[in-house]
């Protein structure tokens, strides 16, 4: 029983999940602490949704071990289910039911007694009370996600899994959605979420960078940012897209990343001479004046760099 009070909400060792010959989860090791917001980050097909389905007990693994909230995932998954909530990537609400009726449906699904009071709280919490009689099918993307979140929380789970909760939500509603998630954390609920947005991952307490069903790095965003080998530079030139195209010729794709208003140049060896040579190349090609300065990497820079170091970009561009 002590284990049920362990400070780890989730711990997995060597989890493996295959779909026919395809290995979707390839020896997954994760530790998620109670009360934290943990972000599972990775490109399309990395295995994020599969990992969540395993941890909810919806898929059976081919190997490995996992405990969730102290329960053995494979022997005690029935007992676990009442303590977890799952917002799937393709969450479907009943479009011809109202907000109120959708929550009622989930309350009954989970056999929640006295759900009316809980529903009122959740509606207030997600700021949906004024719209409660509106049909779910008539809601905006952001409101649908908030309703889905309310349905996920109706049975007062201790741990919730949110698979890409902010995809399809406009930036303004996304801010509101994050403040709602902060409120959930403040109530002591553990959140494991996936996101394709690395700027969102920066807001998690800890993250794992997932690639091909394996954790490449995990830790706080600051720890992961500090783990990029070499040095990162910001290059400035009058026309960044043109400068990017000129420099990209003959360089590995992960070395140069063009963001909207910035061009990042990564030297895995930490050689300032490489950045100076890139700036000189632009000047010589009439694309200057070019300048460079060392900067600290974002999570996105680290991920792009690590994937590049593994040769992933090359494979993806071939396929
Ligand atoms: N039911 C399934 N049958 C066969 N292959 C599957 C199945 N589910 C997932 N896969 C494969 O497993 C791998 C991991 O898929 P998964 O959906 O977990 O990735 P993801 O990280 O959630 O991707 P996305 O960002 O696109 O949601 C992919 O190669 C996918 O094609
Ligand atoms: Mg997915």
pLDDT at residue number 61? 95
Distance 166 CA to ligand 2 centre (A): 13
Alpha carbons 148 and 150: distance in angstroms, whole number: 5
Is residue 44 within 6 Å of ligand 1 at its C-beta?
A: yes
> Does ligand 1 have an atom closer than 6 angstroms to the CB of 46?
yes
Poorest-pLDDT segment among 5-9, 30-34, 108-112: 5-9
Q: Which CATH number fits the domain that encloses residue 260?
A: 3.30.70
pLDDT of residue 2: 47
Judge if 178 and 100 occupy the same domain: yes
Over 70: is that where the pLDDT of 147 sits?
yes
Token digits for 136? 């779910």
The overall average pLDDT reported for the chain is: 91
- CB of residue 53 inside a 6 A radius of ligand 1: no
Ligand index nearest the alpha carbon of residue 46: 1
Please tell me the residue having the least CA distance from ligand 1 atom 8.
50
CA distance readout (Å), 185 to 125, 142, 181, 310: 13, 20, 6, 35
Question: Tokens in use for 55?
Answer: 């941890």
* Residue (of 185, 111, 190, 113) closest to 158 by Cα position: 190
Q: Is the CB of 77 under 6 A from ligand 1?
A: no
Task: Give 111's pLDDT tier (boundaries 50, 70, 90).
Answer: very high
| Residue 252 belongs to domain spanning | 225-318
Co-location of 217 and 229 in the same domain: no
In a shared domain, residues 78 and 148: yes
Task: Output the pLDDT for position 6.
Answer: 73
Is the pLDDT reported for residue 5 higher than 70? no
Q: Which of 222, 130, 217, 145 is nearest to 180 (CA)?
A: 145
- Highest mean pLDDT: which range of 87-96, 175-184, 256-265, 271-280: 271-280
CB contact at 8 A, 12 and 30: yes
Residue 81 scores a pLDDT above 80: yes
Question: Is the CB–ligand 1 distance for residue 24 below 6 Å?
Answer: yes
Tell me which residue has its CA closest to atom 4 in ligand 1.
19
109 and 26 within one domain? yes
**pLDDT classification of 174: cutoffs 50, 70, 90:** confident
The three-point CA angle 40-41-45 to 5° equals: 105
Domain-ending residue, one of 164, 194, 222: 222
Identify the band that residue 157 occupies on the pLDDT scale cut at 50, 70 and 90: very high
Judge if the beta carbon of residue 19 lies within 6 A of ligand 1: yes
Is the CB of 183 within 6 Å of ligand 1? no
189: pLDDT strictly greater than 50: yes
Instruction: Tell me if residue 12 falls in helix, strand or coil.
Output: strand
Q: If pLDDT is split at 50, 70 and 90, which confidence band does 318 have?
A: very low
In a shared domain, residues 233 and 313? yes
Query: Domain boundary at 191, 222, 253, which?
Result: 222
Residue 17 CA, closest ligand 1 atom number: 12
Q: Convert the pLDDT of each residue in 21-65 to its tens digit.
A: 999 999 999 999 999 999 999 888 999 999 999 999 999 999 999
The H-assigned helical ranges of the chain are 48-55, 77-81, 99-109, 115-125, 141-153, 171-186, 198-201, 221-226, 240-248, 272-284, 299-309, 312-318
Q: What is the CA(163)–ligand 2 centre distance, in A?
A: 7
Pocket test for ligand 1, best of 17, 23, 48, 58 (most atoms within 8 A of CB): 48
44 CA → ligand 1 middle, Å: 8
Rounded to the nearest angstrom, the distance between the alpha carbon of 235 and the centre of ligand 2 is: 34
Can you tell me the distance from the alpha carbon of 95 to that of 251, in angstroms, rounded to the nearest whole number? Answer: 50
Q: Are residues 27 and 117 in the same domain?
A: yes
User: What is the domain-level CATH number for residue 30?
Assistant: 3.40.50.300
Average pLDDT estimate for 286-308: 90
190 and 256 share a domain? no
pLDDT band at 312 (very low <50, low <70, confident <90, very high): low
Task: Write the pLDDT tens digit of every residue in 221-230.
Answer: 999 999 888 9
pLDDT at 316 over 50: no
- From 17, 18, 19, the mutation candidate for ligand 1 (largest count of ligand atoms within 8 A of CB) is 19
- Residue bearing the CA closest to ligand 1, atom 7: 19
144 CB within 6 A, ligand 1: no
Q: Are residues 197 and 301 in the same domain?
A: no
Q: Which two tokens mark 116?
A: 């009316």
- At 314 the pLDDT is 45
Same domain for 50 and 132, yes or no, is: yes
179: pLDDT strictly greater than 50: yes
pLDDT given at position 244: 96
Residues 38 and 173 in one domain: yes
Mark whether 217 and 231 lie in a shared domain. no
Same domain? 217 vs 269: no
Number of domains within the chain: 2
């Amino acid at each position: 029983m002590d284990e049920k009070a362990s400070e780890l909400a989730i711990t997995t060792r060597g989890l493996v999940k295959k779909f026919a010959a395809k290995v979707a989860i390839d020896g997954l090791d994760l530790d998620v602490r109670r009360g934290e917001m943990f972000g599972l980050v990775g490109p399309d097909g990395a295995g994020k949704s599969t990992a969540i389905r395993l941890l909810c007990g919806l898929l059976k693994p081919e190997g490995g071990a996992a405990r969730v909230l102290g329960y053995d995932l494979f022997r005690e998954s029935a007992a676990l289910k009442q303590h977890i909530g799952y917002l799937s990537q393709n969450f479907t609400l009943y479009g011809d039911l109202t907000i109120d009726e959708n929550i009622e449906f989930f309350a009954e699904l989970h056999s929640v007694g006295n759900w009316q009071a809980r529903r009122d709280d959740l509606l207030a919490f997600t700021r949906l009370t004024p719209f409660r009689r509106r049909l779910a099918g008539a809601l905006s993307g952001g409101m649908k996600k908030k309703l889905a979140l309310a349905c996920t929380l109706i049975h007062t789970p201790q741990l919730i899994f949110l698979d890409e909760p902010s995809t399809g939500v406009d930036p303004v509603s996304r801010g509101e959605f994050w403040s709602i998630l902060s409120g959930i954390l403040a109530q002591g609920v553990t959140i494991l979420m996936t996101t394709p947005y690395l700027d969102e991952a920066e807001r998690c307490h800890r993250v794992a960078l997932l690639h091909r069903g394996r954790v490449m790095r995990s830790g706080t965003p600051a720890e992961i940012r500090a783990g990029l080998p070499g040095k990162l530079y910001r290059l400035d030139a009058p026309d960044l897209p043109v400068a990017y195209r000129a420099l990209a010729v003959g360089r590995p794709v992960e070395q140069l990343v063009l963001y909207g208003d910035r061009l990042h140049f990564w030297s895995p060896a930490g050689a300032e001479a490489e950045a100076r040579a890139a700036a000189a190349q632009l000047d010589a090609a009439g694309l200057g004046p070019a300048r460079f300065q060392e900067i600290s990497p974002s999570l996105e820079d680290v991920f792009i760099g690590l994937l590049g170091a593994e040769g992933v970009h090359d494979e993806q561009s071939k396929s």
